[in-house]
Structure 1
Amino acid sequence: MIIATGEHGDRDESLLGKRLTVALMWLFGVVLIAQFTATVTSSLTVQQMQSTIRGPDDLPGKAIITTPGSIAEAWLRERGLPYRTITSADEGLRLLRSGEAQAAVYEAPSLRYWSRVFGPDEVTVVGPVFRPEKYGLAVAPGGPLRKQINGALLELFAEGRYEEISRRWFSDVQ
């Protein structure tokens, strides 16, 4: 009954001691309740933020967006998954925010770039790369830009800047 009334039967103890004990017990109780509430709230928030999509097997039944003419569109079509095409990253982000789309399937470097630019709270890259592809630059054979592009790429690789750029702009790690 100390916490409820401050009485514990010992009438010889000073009134100040009893009051301090009761105040400390109340403070301790409030802190425990606040800690419990914060733990439950953060746990529920994290669960709500986690995507139900972890990879390609989770896509059926979801509202999917992609870009027309992309490798991703061909991949979705091959599997018979319905999708909606978008014309820009901003349109895709708007559809994801509004809930009209639940997943964006697109080339991994572009999605990683979206995640980097829009932030992990807006775009999170999940799952494996479905179908790895190589990218290249097309120039006319013997054209003047060919040697310049090749030289610049070789220099980036030799100095380690290519990996730095790739990690900075296309990495899953923020």
Structure 2
Amino acid sequence: MTAEREAEFDFTHPFYQTGLAIGVPREDSAGILRSLGALLSWQFLSLVAGLGLLLLAVGSLLWLVERRRNAEQFGGSPAQGIGASFWWAAVTMTTVGYGDKAPVTLAGRLIALVWMFAGLIMVASFTAAITSALTVSNLQRQINGPRDLPGLRVATVADTASAQYLTEQRIEQARYPDLPTAMRAVADGAADAVVYDQPLLQYRNRELGERRLDILRNTFAEQLYAFALPAGSELRGPLAQEVLRVTESAEWQSLMDAYLGHR
């Protein structure tokens, strides 16, 4: 029931009061998989690759200055020498410092001194990157209401009250042709949440089986459901009375549970 529709139709007494709701991925399908997904993101993998190249560059530089005067530790073939230097750069950066390899030349020790201090910064930056990736991933799924939607990928159905609400709130949305498609987008990870009428979300959610979503209990943009009739219809009175009789009966809640399930 809306003011715009009331101008064109006559409504019976409302038989259901609801509102828009939010569907999110089930918690039991998140957890470790979500964290792994964050660590396997392109941004994080790029950071790891960059760190590996930096270790290789520092190791190669040390190998160039140590390979002749320190052949016992960094000698052998270029692959062996650079491999040993790469190992030294890694354990030095992480402040583990096994002591199995150490530069002996002045240039090598200067490189080691600079790398020790740089390693402290590198470890701190890398730790911060891991923490940020995991935190952002978890925060993106901690949706408790409409205030948490800005900045997320929100799915809805085109030309509906939910799409209009998201537009009015300036929330970026991906519009799908129907509700099951929008809900499957959330289940597949293509969207972070779906916004639609709560009872329809509940009803369609039962059809998703193991891919079903978690439907948040709280509703917003409250709505009333009623039967729409032609203006001046003689059926409005009898239907309104029947609506009141049914909704006041003891079987009404059981009927809703049969169609919508228990939340």
Whether the TM-score (by the shorter chain) exceeds 0.5 is yes
Partner SS, residue 99 of structure 1: coil
Are the structure 2 counterparts of residues 73 and 46 from structure 1 closer, same or farther at C-alpha, using a change threshold of 3 Å?
closer
Give the counterpart letter for 1:62 in structure 2: L
Structure 2 residue 202 is the aligned partner of structure 1 residue 112:
yes
Structure 2 residue 251 is the aligned partner of structure 1 residue 166:
no
Deviation of 1:129 after TM superposition, in Å, equals 0.8
Superposed CA deviations along residues 35-93 of structure 1, whole A, max 9, x for unmatched, are: xxxxxxxxx96735894322222212211111223222122112211101112223113
Map of 2:236 onto structure 1: 146
Map of 2:245 onto structure 1: 155
Distance in 2 of aligned mates of 1:53 and 1:150: 38
Equivalence map 1:1-174=2 (5 Å): 47-48=31-32, 51-119=141-209, 121-126=211-216, 128-143=218-233, 145-170=235-260, 172-173=262-263
Are the structure 2 counterparts of residues 65 and 46 from structure 1 closer, same or farther at C-alpha, using a change threshold of 3 Å?
closer
Deviation of 1:121 after TM superposition, in Å, equals 4.5
Deviation of 1:171 after TM superposition, in Å, equals 5.3
Deviation of 1:106 after TM superposition, in Å, equals 0.8
8 Å CA contact 1:56, 1:127 repeated in 2: no
Runs of 5+ consecutive residues of structure 2 not aligned to the other structure: 1-27, 35-137
Partner SS, residue 159 of structure 1: coil
Distance in 2 of aligned mates of 1:110 and 1:65: 14
Q: Higher strand fraction: Structure 1 or Structure 2?
A: 2
Give the counterpart letter for 1:80 in structure 2: R
Distance in 2 of aligned mates of 1:77 and 1:126: 21
Partner SS, residue 134 of structure 1: strand
Map of 2:64 onto structure 1: none
Q: Number of residues paired by the alignment? A: 130
8 Å CA contact 1:64, 1:103 repeated in 2: yes
Are the structure 2 counterparts of residues 102 and 172 from structure 1 closer, same or farther at C-alpha, using a change threshold of 3 Å?
farther
8 Å CA contact 2:202, 2:260 repeated in 1: yes
Partner SS, residue 80 of structure 1: coil
Question: Could you tell me the TM-score, scaled by structure 2's length?
Answer: 0.42
Give the counterpart letter for 1:138 in structure 2: A
Runs of 5+ consecutive residues of structure 1 not aligned to the other structure: 1-43
Distance in 2 of aligned mates of 1:128 and 1:158: 24
Q: Which has the larger radius of gyration?
A: 2
Are the structure 2 counterparts of residues 57 and 142 from structure 1 closer, same or farther at C-alpha, using a change threshold of 3 Å?
closer
> Identity over the aligned pairs, expressed in percent?
22
8 Å CA contact 2:156, 2:179 repeated in 1: no
